[in-house]
């Protein structure tokens, strides 16, 4: 492999951040565009990462009392129309099924035939179809709470797509719950937001800000929407998960009623919450560097890759034998409650090419095993986030210390992401400073500027207008204790001078 650039990925993040993102996905072989407009193909390495995310989240959902179920892909058009704001929010991006077969056309080829009486929408989200089932299932307060989750594909017709971040079809989970009281539904909404925050920080090593969306950014049909927001390495915000308190909006539209202990018929209170394959994009942009992907150990499809190095058949034999035994013993080591995942790469490739292959794919620990290591009963290895720190360790010590090495890397990634966010977060009280903060300064890296700004605000339309040319939005109103000290104290709106009850988080966003 001709390696002209000093980094494995070209362009670098500084040179062209959006293009760097695409190149990392390509170099790590995570996904690619498909011949179907807006739809991506998730390749094995990317899918294995998503499977690990799924497994961790699924465990957390089950621990909090939720059960998985599966509901139809199709939603009758009339169902979508039941909640006025909901349909308005999704009508512009619906894939519509109108026919149920193909037949030979008058000019040869096939044409759609068998028109449906009522068009079907490919689910963009499932509140309406799941709500219709909830209305059948719920009769009494004894049936509540009803705590359901679905892992599924959904479709929202997008014209400007980006792999993982915005695609017409994506994979996600959607939780849907019904409760007897407003309070219980709100507790659930906040509980699942906390689950998402915990997953982001403990598994993805991605720090997040928990907060509530302003009215403009609410989920269509929700009473309130909560979110987690993360800072990417271009200092933009990425909304990584949302949890919606739906009040009685959907239960009234869909007749989800129960008899309370006093015998009264009452509408249930519902919630919904979801995260998607967008998290893979968030992970890439949080930890990737100019040499490619960097995987937090807890989610890495492989923790360790073993690369045998030899010059002739004799060396090959002893190195391979050593590697196979090492692999077997490594797989008996437990990390994060499960056996360490090891790849022995036996392919016939040049050593440098092979090393960079795994660097770009983000494997946490790369061990290169040559005759010298075999002779010394040692392991030569490099941590993906410390490429210049080459280390050699006695074999037994490596086996013993591996869980600690992985956990140290997991923690180091979180610390680094936290430091980046802290360095690029400001409390701003002057409009000039705000404008300056969000205006590109470095012509060489026009994409990387700004950050998170905590500012006083009000609901006046002038606020949105003032930010429009900067492409800045209010990401969220922080939950209690989440913003910087004093951010919950009243002040003056940065844009109108009017009264503000506290600071909100401002940023450019994906």
Q: In the complex with its own copies, which residue's Cβ is closer, 255 or 501?
A: 255
Is residue 36 a contact point for its own copies (CB under 8 A)?
A: yes
Please choose, from the candidates 235, 111, 117, 288, the residue with its C-alpha nearest in 3D space to the C-alpha of residue 505.
Answer: 235
99: which 2 tokens?
């026919």
Is residue 351 a contact point for its own copies (CB under 8 A)?
A: no
Q: In the complex with its own copies, which residue's Cβ is closer, 123 or 218?
A: 123
Is residue 91 a contact point for its own copies (CB under 8 A)?
A: yes
**DSSP assigned state of 263:** S
Q: Binding residue for its own copies (CB under 8 A) from 74, 403, 425, 498?
A: 74
Q: In the complex with its own copies, which residue's Cβ is closer, 11 or 72?
A: 72
377: which 2 tokens?
């009963």
Q: In the complex with its own copies, which residue's Cβ is closer, 67 or 353?
A: 67
* Number of neighbours of residue 464 by Cβ within 10 angstroms: 15
Is residue 101 a contact point for its own copies (CB under 8 A)?
A: yes
- Alpha-carbon distance of 180 to 174, in angstroms, equals 20
Positive or negative, the CA dihedral 326, 329, 332, 334 is negative
Which stretch in 145-153, 219-227, 355-363, 456-464 sits in contact with its own copies by CB under 8 A? 145-153
- Alpha-carbon distance of 264 to 240, in angstroms, equals 40
Is residue 99 a contact point for its own copies (CB under 8 A)?
A: yes
Is residue 174 a contact point for its own copies (CB under 8 A)?
A: no
To which H or E segment does residue 423 belong?
helix 395-423
Minimum CB–partner distance for residue 255 and its own copies (Å): 13
Q: Binding residue for its own copies (CB under 8 A) from 59, 67, 397, 446?
A: 67
- Alpha-carbon distance of 208 to 200, in angstroms, equals 7
**φ and ψ at 69, to 5 degrees?**
-150, 175
Minimum CB–partner distance for residue 94 and its own copies (Å): 5
Q: Binding residue for its own copies (CB under 8 A) from 8, 24, 60, 132?
A: 132
Q: In the complex with its own copies, which residue's Cβ is closer, 67 or 415?
A: 67
Q: Number of residues in contact with its own copies, rule: CB under 8 A?
A: 59
Q: Binding residue for its own copies (CB under 8 A) from 1, 110, 419, 462?
A: 110
- Alpha-carbon distance of 169 to 153, in angstroms, equals 7
* Bridge partners (DSSP) listed for residue 177: 147, 271
- In order of 105, 225, 313, 498, the CA distances from 456 in angstroms are 62, 20, 70, 9
Which stretch in 31-39, 178-186, 413-421, 426-434 sits in contact with its own copies by CB under 8 A? 31-39
Radius of gyration in angstroms for the set of CA atoms belonging to the chain, rounded to a whole number? 26
- Alpha-carbon distance of 364 to 240, in angstroms, equals 23
Minimum CB–partner distance for residue 150 and its own copies (Å): 9
Is residue 122 a contact point for its own copies (CB under 8 A)?
A: yes
Please choose, from the candidates 505, 36, 57, the residue with its C-alpha nearest in 3D space to the C-alpha of residue 280.
Answer: 57
Q: In the complex with its own copies, which residue's Cβ is closer, 351 or 497?
A: 351
Is residue 263 a contact point for its own copies (CB under 8 A)?
A: no
Angle separating helix axes 278-287 and 17-27, nearest 10 degrees: 110
152-171 positions binding its own copies, by CB under 8 A: 152-153, 155, 157, 169, 171
Q: In the complex with its own copies, which residue's Cβ is closer, 120 or 379?
A: 120
Q: In the complex with its own copies, which residue's Cβ is closer, 36 or 386?
A: 36
* Number of neighbours of residue 446 by Cβ within 10 angstroms: 11
Binding site for its own copies (CB under 8 A): 34-36, 39-44, 47-48, 50-51, 67-77, 79-81, 87, 91-103, 109-110, 112, 114, 119-122, 129, 132-133, 148, 152-153, 155, 157, 169, 171
């Amino acid at each position: 492999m001709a390696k002209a650039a000093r980094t494995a990925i070209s362009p670098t993040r500084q040179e062209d951040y959006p293009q760097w993102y695409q190149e990392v996905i390509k170099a790590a072989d995570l996904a690619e565009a498909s011949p179907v407009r807006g739809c991506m193909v998730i390749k094995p390495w990317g899918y294995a990462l998503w499977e690990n995310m799924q497994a961790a989240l699924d465990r957390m959902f089950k621990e909090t009392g939720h059960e998985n179920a599966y509901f139809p892909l199709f939603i009758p058009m009339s169902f979508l129309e039941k909640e006025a704001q909901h349909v308005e929010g999704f009508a512009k991006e619906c894939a519509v099924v109108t026919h149920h077969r193909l037949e030979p056309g008058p000019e040869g080829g096939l044409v759609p035939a068998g028109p449906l009486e009522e068009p079907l929408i490919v689910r963009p989200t499932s509140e309406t179809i799941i709500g219709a089932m909830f209305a059948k299932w719920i009769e009494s307060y004894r049936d509540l709470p009803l705590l359901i989750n679905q892992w599924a594909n959904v479709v929202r017709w997008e014209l400007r797509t980006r792999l993982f971040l915005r695609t017409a079809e994506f994979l996600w989970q959607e939780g849907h719950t019904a409760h007897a009281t407003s309070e219980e539904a709100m507790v659930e909404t906040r509980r699942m937001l906390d689950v998402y925050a915990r997953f982001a920080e403990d598994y993805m090593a991605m720090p997040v800000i928990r907060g509530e969306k302003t009215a403009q950014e609410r989920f269509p049909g929700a009473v309130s929407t909560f979110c987690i927001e993360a800072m990417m390495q271009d200092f933009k915000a990425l909304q990584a998960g949302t949890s919606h308190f739906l009040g009685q909006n959907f239960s009234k539209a869909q007749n989800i009623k129960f008899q309370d202990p006093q015998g009264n018929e009452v509408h249930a209170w519902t919630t919904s919450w979801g995260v998607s394959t967008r998290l893979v994009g968030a992970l890439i942009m949080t930890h990737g560097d100019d040499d490619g992907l960097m995987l937090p150990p807890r989610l890495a499809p492989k923790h360790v890759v073993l690369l045998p190095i030899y010059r002739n058949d004799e060396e090959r034999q002893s190195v391979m034998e050593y590697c196979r035994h090492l692999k077997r013993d490594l797989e008996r080591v437990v990390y994060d409650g499960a056996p360490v995942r090891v790849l022995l790469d036996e392919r016939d490739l040049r050593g440098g090419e092979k090393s960079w292959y795994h660097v770009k794919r983000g494997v946490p620990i790369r061990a290169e095993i040559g005759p010298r290591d075999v002779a010394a009963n040692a392991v030569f290895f490099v941590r993906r986030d410390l490429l210049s720190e080459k280390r050699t360790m006695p074999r037994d010590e490596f086996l013993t210390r591996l869980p600690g090495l992985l956990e140290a890397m997991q923690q180091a990634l979180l610390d680094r992401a936290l430091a980046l966010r802290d360095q690029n977060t400001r409390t701003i009280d002057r409009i000039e400073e705000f404008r300056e903060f969000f205006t590109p300064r470095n012509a060489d890296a026009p994409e990387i500027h700004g950050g998170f700004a905590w500012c006083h605000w009000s609901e006046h339309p002038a606020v949105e207008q003032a930010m429009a040319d900067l492409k800045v939005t209010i990401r969220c109103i922080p939950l209690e204790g989440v913003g910087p000290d004093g951010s919950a104290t009243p002040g003056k709106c940065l844009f109108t001078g009017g009264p503000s009850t506290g600071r909100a988080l401002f940023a450019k966003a994906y």
